[in-house]
Amino acid sequence: MFRRKPRVMPSDARRELRDTSFALRDPSLGVLEIDYDPEVWTRMPQVGEDRTDWVARHLEAYATDLGLVSGSEEHAAAERAFNAAADIEVSHTADLFAMPHRELGGGSAIYVNALDPEMGVLEHGPGEDFIRMVDLFPDGPLPRMDWMPYRKYKDSWRMSNASSPRDVFTSDRVTRMFRETPAAGGSPILLYLSVFYTRPRGISQVILFANRTKLEQR
């Protein structure tokens, strides 16, 4: 017998809401472009955006793509998730979260911060400390650093993976990445990426997200 291929969730309605451009604090430095998958990730409300309108639009798109019926438990659970996401105060260059996903699990959130060296060190510390998760594991042991995809690649990320401190986070896994992007005629732009998720195989979605992240300089 032939095995059926796994059903792929449609993402047409969510794709209509997708916005892949993320403004930097200093617009003269460029813009962060993330070609994220709307089947997996949802962009958090932007500064000044009406939260009620954001929830309504994204809930409708999610329900449309998945065929959720208003009044069902699945629809109510999705509404609770979007309301909870809308209440989170975020301030990174890019903040996104994932609804329950077959690879990531539930409760996944990811951010990318694109900063100049002074602000990067002020907010996240030196790149190596960020990758080694010194803030999460002050008493050690610290996770091992690696390269993605490999060290000599021009746009390679330094990265690390670890089990989340259970007394701090509810997610099981944490991955961090760091990269310096040369800037024309000035200091480099530092990219800090951090994500929390539940299932180990979710790392494939994290790597795909990182590979689709780039700084478009002006």
* Each residue's pLDDT tens digit, 106-144: 879 999 999 999 999 999 999 999 999 999 888 888 899
Please name the residues in contact with 130: beta carbons below 8 A apart, sequence gap of 6 or more.
Answer: 124, 176, 178, 192
Considering Cα of 44, then 86, then 165, then 77, what sign does the dihedral take?
Answer: negative
Which among 30, 11, 49, 16 has a CA at the least distance from the CA of 181? 30
Query: Between β-strands 108-115 and 94-98, what pairing exists: parallel, antiparallel or unpaired?
Result: antiparallel
**Cβ-based neighbour number of residue 166 at 10 Å:** 9
Check whether 204 has a pLDDT greater than 50. Answer: yes
Query: Between β-strands 173-181 and 189-197, what pairing exists: parallel, antiparallel or unpaired?
Result: antiparallel
pLDDT band of residue 10 (cuts 50, 70, 90) is: low
Check whether 75 has a pLDDT greater than 60. Answer: yes
